[in-house]
């Protein structure tokens, strides 16, 4: 048989040069495609690394930025529930107001939590005909709302006042479990009373320690009668804060910065009188009574 026909049956001889050129062209195309695939994979890997790093940094830095952004929002939610506690008395041609401490609204919007010593400090004025009230609103537009004593827990220096009239926004209480040392908290109240109008102020800090209310005395003579009474009633734990509270802050809610959940009640007079009675120069440390004692007083323990 003729080789020309065996090669293709066309009578034309296959060109080896053309075959070789086609072969090498195919190799180049395949190689280029492989190179493109490699470059694409490398580019994808680089981009993934870059975006991964950005995501990691964003996640790592988010908590610090979150606290700064969240606290103002939390204060806005808490502030309408914080009230001043005092009395009003009608004088000739005017009403006279006396401020004693801070309180905050809980439950159904008609119950105010404060310290018992805040209520007790108004006893003389009430005996002289003054009316027990809470001050709501802000600035010079503050209004007085009548209240009455609903319930008291002298052992933990707590009092519940019943608000008359319409409801106010209520704060949410945390559970009975103690908060942890190092938790970030804030408290809102009236540190200087109503000297400049009813202006709530917020301080922030952490729970620096959870400590018993009474310090052990070096001798029996160092214990005062009030300290002995408290110890006999059973010592209990309180929060020690690194934020400074002033006398007008007594009764202020201590709450978590991110949620506004109340974990305690600021108390300066009662606790400092027990923990620091033996100190020649009492410290500026602030204390708070855990919220579980408020829950017990409300009958909401669970």
Tell me the domain boundaries of the chain: 1-59, 81-163, 184-298
The fold for domain 184-298 equals Thrombin, subunit H (2.40.10)
Is the confidence at residue 5, as pLDDT, over 80?
no
- Residue 31's alpha-carbon distances to 35, 41, 42, 232, in angstroms, are 6, 15, 16, 90
Which H helix or E strand runs over 24? helix 16-78
What's the gap between Cα 7 and its chain centre?
Answer: 90
pLDDT tens-digit readout, 23-71: 555 556 545 455 455 555 655 554 456 445 544 445 444 454 445 558 9
Using pLDDT thresholds of 50, 70 and 90, give the confidence band for residue 168.
very high
Choice among 62-71, 134-143, 272-281 with the minimum mean pLDDT: 272-281
Is the confidence at residue 6, as pLDDT, over 50?
no
Measured CA to CA, the distance from residue 262 to residue 156 in angstroms comes to 17
Which of these CATH numbers, 3.40.50.720, 2.40.10.220, 2.40.10.10, 3.40.640.10, describes 81-163?
A: 2.40.10.10
Would you say 138 and 91 are in contact if contact means Cβ atoms under 8 Å apart? no
SS3 45: helix
- Residue 134's alpha-carbon distances to 99, 130, 149, 224, in angstroms, are 9, 13, 12, 33
Using pLDDT thresholds of 50, 70 and 90, give the confidence band for residue 274.
very low
Q: What is the mean pLDDT of residues 253-279?
A: 75
User: What integer pLDDT is reported at residue 10 of this predicted model?
Assistant: 47
Q: Give the residue, 16 or 170, on which the prediction is more confident.
A: 170
Q: Comparing 81-163 with 184-298, is the CATH topology the same? A: yes
């Amino acid at each position: 048989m003729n080789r020309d026909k065996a090669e293709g049956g066309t009578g034309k001889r296959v060109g080896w040069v053309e075959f070789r050129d086609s072969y090498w062209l195919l190799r180049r195309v395949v190689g280029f495609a492989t190179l493109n695939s490699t470059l694409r994979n490398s580019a994808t890997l680089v981009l993934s690394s870059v975006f991964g790093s950005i995501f990691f940094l964003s996640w790592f830095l988010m908590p610090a930025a979150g606290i700064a952004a969240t606290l103002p929002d939390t204060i806005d939610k808490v502030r309408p529930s914080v009230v001043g506690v005092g009395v009003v008395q009608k004088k000739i041609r005017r009403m006279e107001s006396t401020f004693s401490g801070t309180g905050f609204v809980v439950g159904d919007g008609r119950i105010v939590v404060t310290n018992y010593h805040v209520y007790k400090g108004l006893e003389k004025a009430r005996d002289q005909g003054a009316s027990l009230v809470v001050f709501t609103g802000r600035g010079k537009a503050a209004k007085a709302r009548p209240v009455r004593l609903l319930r008291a827990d002298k052992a933990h220096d707590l009092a519940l006042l019943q608000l008359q009239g319409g409801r106010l926004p209520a704060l949410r209480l945390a559970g009975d479990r103690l908060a942890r040392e190092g938790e970030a908290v804030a408290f809102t109240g009236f540190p200087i009373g109503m000297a400049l109008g009813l202006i709530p102020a917020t301080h922030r800090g952490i729970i620096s320690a959870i400590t018993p209310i009474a310090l052990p005395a070096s001798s029996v003579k160092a214990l005062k009668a009030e300290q002995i009474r408290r110890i006999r009633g059973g010592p209990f734990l309180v929060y020690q804060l690194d934020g400074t509270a002033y006398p007008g802050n007594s009764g202020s809610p201590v709450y978590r910065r991110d949620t506004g959940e109340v974990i305690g009640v600021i108390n300066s007079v009662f606790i400092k009188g027990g923990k620091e009675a033996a100190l020649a120069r009492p410290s500026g440390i602030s204390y708070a009574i855990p919220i579980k004692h408020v829950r017990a007083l409300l009958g909401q323990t669970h």
